[in-house]
Amino acid sequence: MADLLRRVAEQADLAAFRELYQSYGPRVKAYMMRQGADAATAEDLAQETLFTVWRRASLYVEDKGSATTWIFAIARNVRIDRLRREVPWQELPESRCEQPSSETPPDEALSEKERQARVRAALAELPPEQHEVVALSYVDGLSHGEIAARLGLPLGTVKSRMRIAYQRIRAGLEDLR
């Protein structure tokens, strides 16, 4: 996928973009629907996300994150902008010189592809109660308070499950160093 993105960035390669569009678009649409958009709006937002990918492909730097992670961040920002939550956001870098140079995560010995695979594996191995809070946060876009209300749990329990889930995922990455 990073390869497709590089072809888009370097050669404005439309065939590569079409592949990206077909493989990511329906997932981004699914994400937007889980975030509360109806099917037609979700499709608009997914399209907007992929067009943003097209316009910004030259800013993608492979060793800073996988293509999937980068597209997730764009989808999340499009969702925040368009679903009118007006959340001030940490802007994505607008040029290469704004790319953080000393911020490679500590597991830098791994290739980005390996890291993404490890994260997915660690995610799949989370105990159900931790996986649940991660999904409600990332996929459904619920705040800690909303998750607590939905699950009938104290706020502190929701937060500690989030923290433990993240520590496990981190540990999964650090094993490989």
Partner 1 sequence: MTITHHLDDATLMSFAAGALPAALSAVAAAHAAMCPRCRREIAAMERLGGAVMADLSPVAFARPEPAPPMPLPAGAGDLSRPRAAAIAEAEIPRPVAKLFSDTLDAVAWRWLGPGVWDHPLPLTGAGKLRLLKVAPGHGIPEHGHGGAELTLVLRGAFQDETGRYARGDVADLDETVAHQPIVTDAGGACICLVGSETPERFHGLVARQWQRVRRF
Q: How far is the CB of 151 from partner 1 (least distance, A)?
A: 14
Cα 136 off chain centre by? 14
Q: How far is the CB of 3 from partner 1 (least distance, A)?
A: 16
Kindly tell me the sign of the dihedral angle through the C-alpha atoms of 168, 166, 26, 56: negative
Residues between 58 and 87 that touch partner 1 (CB under 8 A): 64-66, 68-73, 75-77, 79-80, 85-87
* Of the candidate residues 156, 171, 175, 176, the single one contacting partner 1 (CB under 8 A): 156
- Axis-axis angle for helices 155-174, 144-151 (nearest 10): 110
Residues between 23 and 62 that touch partner 1 (CB under 8 A): 25-31, 33-34, 39-40, 42-43, 46-47, 51-52, 54-56
Q: Does residue 88 touch partner 1 according to CB under 8 A?
A: yes
- Axis-axis angle for helices 14-34, 67-82 (nearest 10): 50
